[in-house]
Amino acid sequence: MSNDFDQHGAPPRLAASTDTSRPPTPAWNRGSPHANHLKPVMPLHGEPIVFVVDDDISVRESLEGLIRFAGWQTEVFASAPEFLARPDHAGPSCMVLDVNLPELSGLELQRHIASASVKMPIIFITGFVDVPVAVQAMKAGAVDFLTKPVGDEILLQAIESSLSRSRAAIDGSEEIRAIQASHATLSMREREVMNLVVSGLLNKQIGGELGISEITVKAHRGSAMRKMKARSLAHLVEMAIKLREAAAADETD
């Protein structure tokens, strides 16, 4: 590893229904047998961790020292199984991962992490350039693919970017869980009204679709807005879109 520290020893500064006349109920609007157990999740970021997986002890020690000097917590592992035996980390994290590892390769570990729905940014490092492997890693979501020896500043910038990406992913997951928890408190009628409201129908049209009075529609609409903590109709639509996207992602998984 090269040393990009200045002459004073300081680390480099980084940039930081069955009625066919009604519209079908979308998957995100049908509820879940576990929906009533959903609760808003408060951010639990904690300290970010940079995981290093490399079978070369000299590389592990060099990276561990560099990362700690830059102010981040780090854990190092000599193999993929060793890392997989570690309990999951709920806070921000990223991984510096060697491509060529014993037992399980870096690409295989990347697949294991993705299959567990863990959104951990991965920075691959390798002793030689292998274009097909690099393309495969990047297509699978790797943040970067660097060739050893890696310049300190280049690696630290990649780590900083990866941790920022991890924080954003956690924030997004927490927001979705909070929206799902609010949505779980809606009655079936409130969900029907919400579905039609966000589709652009007026209260009178919704009443006609559901066979209820406009006054009743207004009451259900107001209740749904309060339970969803919607600041405006636009905010309600935004949350409905996020619910749909989360439902679609769950079906894909």
Q: Is residue 21 part of a domain?
A: no
The CATH number for 133's domain is 3.40.50.2300
The CATH number for 213's domain is 1.10.10.10
Dist CA 153 CA 129 (whole Å): 20
Task: State both tokens at 63.
Answer: 């990276």
Whether residue 35 is predicted with pLDDT greater than 50 in this model: the reply is no
Task: State both tokens at 71.
Answer: 């102010």
Pair 113, 56 in one domain: yes
Q: pTM higher than 0.75 for the full model?
A: no
Tally the domains of the chain: 2
C-alpha to C-alpha distances, 7 to 10, 11, 12, 14, nearest whole angstrom: 8, 10, 11, 17
Pair 161, 101 in one domain: yes
Pair 69, 118 in one domain: yes
Residue after which a domain boundary falls, among 172, 193, 216: 172
**Do 158 and 9 contact (CB within 8 A), yes or no?**
no
Q: Is residue 221 part of a domain?
A: yes
Domain enclosing residue 196, as ranges:
185-252
C-alpha to C-alpha distances, 125 to 38, 154, 230, 233, nearest whole angstrom: 40, 12, 45, 47
Q: What mean pLDDT do residues 52-65 have?
A: 95
Pair 150, 87 in one domain: yes
Task: State both tokens at 65.
Answer: 């020292």
Q: What mean pLDDT do residues 160-185 have?
A: 88
